[in-house]
Structure 1
């Protein structure tokens, strides 16, 4: 992986102004972004404010030496992963061993050779770039494993996991886009995809921080609402239904509606049992003419 120096910020820490100026100039000539600090305390403040990608650190400094600064950086979770290259005139083996023991990644002895400094900085800057790319890749893989690619909503696996972490009551809203096959057949699958994305946008906006919405499969969506009873969930579903109806024409000549089923666990039913209740309520809404919100409680009342 190619290292772009302009994307790498280096902090040079030395109590001698000339050393800071010299190293800063060398690194800036290579394209690195460089900042300097003349004391450990100043360097610590700078790192806590904005983390550099790499630190070149002198050992022999007044008040707080380089060893102690490195120790403090490694104790702080927000700065512990910053690579530290020690620069020192100390040439004893035990000095170098100590530098590595407290978390240094390299040790350059003064007086230093310019080419050696640049080579070592280039190596560690490359490792930083690689690590950053791996972290971003892992985050992307996590998103892919838990997110529906089309709508950006969480997927059914993620929602099921979240339901397992909910303690106490929760409500579910299961809804299905009415006549979605007709939309695909008449306008094309690209329009169907636009409808799914629009559905996701509206639903996400209406539920806000109250719960989680997943694309449950195809044109079916499931909302998990922790600490909601049936009435609150019903009202929320009605609000989503209203927004869908108001969106007629927002995507052109076609419009969409959905049928909603609402159910609550009341502290005794399992997640999958509540889904079955919500599913039955939703299909009752389909049978009643579509574009309906039906709660499992209303179905129980009719059965009684």
Structure 2
């Protein structure tokens, strides 16, 4: 395998416990961006997949409310791991106005939030905003 291809950052780690959200994201991201999707359904799976695919992940798109650990918890675990520490995060939430909560939990102004339900163009725009 070509090393350059193996090290290409071309995957978005998507973390959500709702099946319908995975259906939407898996239709939009591969078809309307240049990125692939790595799916996680809870925090434990997200951390495991993050470590496994650290060299490929360019963004984490995570729900805040998860059944095991919150999206904030995933963020903090990633920030403590050298291989995962610089991966940008976008949180998604069905609860409006969680930005104060976000700032309370995280001292990182680069973290973005997108509110559910969002449209295909909202998602593509957010990915473009964060990844350029």
TM-score where L is the length of structure 1: 0.37
The residue that corresponds to 2:113 in the other structure is 107
The residue that corresponds to 1:19 in the other structure is 21
Higher helix residue share: 1
Structure 1 distance, partners of 2:16, 2:71, is 9
Distance 1:69 1:7, change over 3 A: closer
Is this contact kept in 2: 1:70–1:102, CA < 8 A?
no
Structure 1 distance, partners of 2:115, 2:106, is 14
Structure 1 distance, partners of 2:102, 2:75, is 13
Question: Can you give the 5+ residue segments of structure 1 that lack an aligned partner in the other structure?
Answer: 1-5, 127-304
Task: Quote how far apart the aligned CAs of 1:7 are.
Answer: 5.8
Residue among 38, 48, 56 paired with 1:45: 48
Is this contact kept in 1: 2:72–2:106, CA < 8 A?
no
Distance 1:98 1:108, change over 3 A: farther
Task: Quote how far apart the aligned CAs of 1:102 are.
Answer: 5.4
Distance 1:103 1:49, change over 3 A: farther
Residue among 121, 126, 148 paired with 2:127: 121
How many pairs are equivalent? 121
Residue among 53, 62, 73 paired with 1:57: 62
Task: Quote how far apart the aligned CAs of 1:77 are.
Answer: 1.3
- Of structures 1 and 2, the one scoring higher in RCO (CA 8 A, sep 6+) is 2
TM-score where L is the length of structure 2: 0.81
The residue that corresponds to 1:244 in the other structure is none
The residue that corresponds to 2:4 in the other structure is none
Is this contact kept in 1: 2:9–2:58, CA < 8 A?
no
The residue that corresponds to 1:136 in the other structure is none
The residue that corresponds to 1:283 in the other structure is none
Structure 1 distance, partners of 2:108, 2:129, is 20
The residue that corresponds to 1:88 in the other structure is 93
Is this contact kept in 2: 1:55–1:82, CA < 8 A?
yes
Task: Quote how far apart the aligned CAs of 1:99 are.
Answer: 5.7
Structure 2 distance, partners of 1:44, 1:37, is 9
Are 1:34 and 2:41 counterparts? no
Task: Quote how far apart the aligned CAs of 1:33 are.
Answer: 1.1
Is this contact kept in 2: 1:70–1:103, CA < 8 A?
no
Is this contact kept in 2: 1:88–1:109, CA < 8 A?
yes
Is this contact kept in 1: 2:18–2:41, CA < 8 A?
yes
Distance 1:123 1:46, change over 3 A: same
Structure 1 distance, partners of 2:84, 2:9, is 18
Task: Quote how far apart the aligned CAs of 1:119 are.
Answer: 0.7
